[in-house]
Structure 1
């Protein structure tokens, strides 16, 4: 099969939500540089001035975790998610469209189940057993509410991913009709 007939695995975003995610992701990627900078600051403070910080490690971990979670919707928006190309590239374009539809349906179900689990996890991270607003904290000397924030981020990201899968499914069904 020639490469002219293959669907490109990495495509430009096809809807407004994906374009927003890509634009936001490109801006958020600068936080990796910030993480490197504060980590360097920690090393200098610890080993040059013998004055370690209490906030750098948790901040860097929090930023990295949030960016990792965001990476899921970014990969879906740019069509750079994992697929079995050995099978995908060996079938016709029409079969690929059906595989994409199956992928989007299964992806939606998976993301919806994860969103439900993340909701339960988030609820217990932001409310006390008596229902008062009380964010879960790390328990360290600094004790930031980063664990609760990460759980909120996971929940929101999984909700966005559900919407993405629905939009991609609609688009794929529409593309199938054009063949």
Structure 2
């Protein structure tokens, strides 16, 4: 039940966030057309697309982990039995993954709070608020952390990842 809930949350977030890529591409095309066809470059497009790309990239971490799309180095465990490989992966989550995501989560929350309190904006030609992106970092860290919990539970319970949303 918990595995399905966590996987479902990251699946839904991943699918919604992937729509940002369409908006991102449309903005870049708009800026290119305005710049080269009408000789009227936009002042805001670079800053907005950079923030959208950051949002897009960071928010898909949990979704990528759910679909086993993160970079893996299996050279050390490829010759182990399935059971030994599973326990090495579990140990890897506890030694590397959870400490990293915990630091990422706690620091991102602090980072977002400070940005919110200061009303932080970009320094470019258009001053956009930065705190939404920093809040997204904290949310993404939380999503990545809970997806790690789901992956460890799958390893412990010998469950295969199912894609109920396909």
Which TM-score bucket, shorter chain as reference?
0.7 to 0.9
Which structure's relative contact order is higher, taking Cα pairs within 8 Å and 6+ residues apart? 2
- Consecutive unaligned residues of structure 2, counting only runs of 5 or more, are 160-166
TM-score normalized with structure 1 length: 0.78
Check the 8 A contact 1:45/1:53 in 2, yes or no: yes
Structure 1 residue 85 corresponds to structure 2 residue 74: yes
Q: CA deviation at 1:24?
A: 3.0
Task: Report the equivalent of 1:153.
Answer: 136
1:35, 1:164 → 2: CA distance? 26
Task: Give the aligned CA root-mean-square deviation in angstroms.
Answer: 1.9
Q: CA deviation at 1:107?
A: 0.9
Task: Report the equivalent of 1:132.
Answer: none
2:125, 2:100 → 1: CA distance? 37
1:58, 1:116 → 2: CA distance? 27
TM-score normalized with structure 2 length: 0.83
Q: Which has the larger radius of gyration?
A: 1
| 1:105-163: CA deviation from partner (whole Å, max 9, x where unpaired) | 131111001111112211211113xxxxxx21112332110x21111111111122222
Report the number of matched residues. Answer: 156
Task: Report the equivalent of 1:36.
Answer: 25
- Consecutive unaligned residues of structure 1, counting only runs of 5 or more, are 1-13, 129-134
2:108, 2:98 → 1: CA distance? 15
2:9, 2:26 → 1: CA distance? 27
